[in-house]
Amino acid sequence: MRDKLKQALEELQNELTQMGSHEPKLQKLADDVQVALKESAADVPLVDSLRDAAEAFEAHHPQLTALINNVMTSLSNIGI
């Protein structure tokens, strides 16, 4: 996994851990991020979870949304 993507995923994982995962979309995103970090690969379910979370939490969680956008940019840069 590219270093920048891995770093962005780790930052997102840390933010999700600090927030807790009381909402189902956040829990799914946290699970998908954890799988992507363990497998050293980002797949389509992660991309879908990122898009859903960015849309759902943009107004209430701007820092989380910024981290999600960083991960999506990193994925785009490596062609995913």
Q: Measured between alpha carbons, how far is 22 from 18 in angstroms, rounded to an integer?
A: 11
User: What confidence category does residue 42 fall into, taking pLDDT thresholds of 50, 70 and 90?
Assistant: low
Please tell me whether the overall predicted TM-score, pTM, comes out greater than 0.75 for this model: no
Q: Report pLDDT digits (tens) over 5-27.
A: 888 889 888 888 888 767 787 88
The domain of 17 spans 3-77
Helix spans in 1-80 (H): 3-19, 24-39, 44-57, 62-77
What does the pLDDT average to over 31-59? 78
Q: How many domains does the chain have?
A: 1
Comparing C-alpha atoms, which of 7, 36, 33 is closest to residue 19? 33
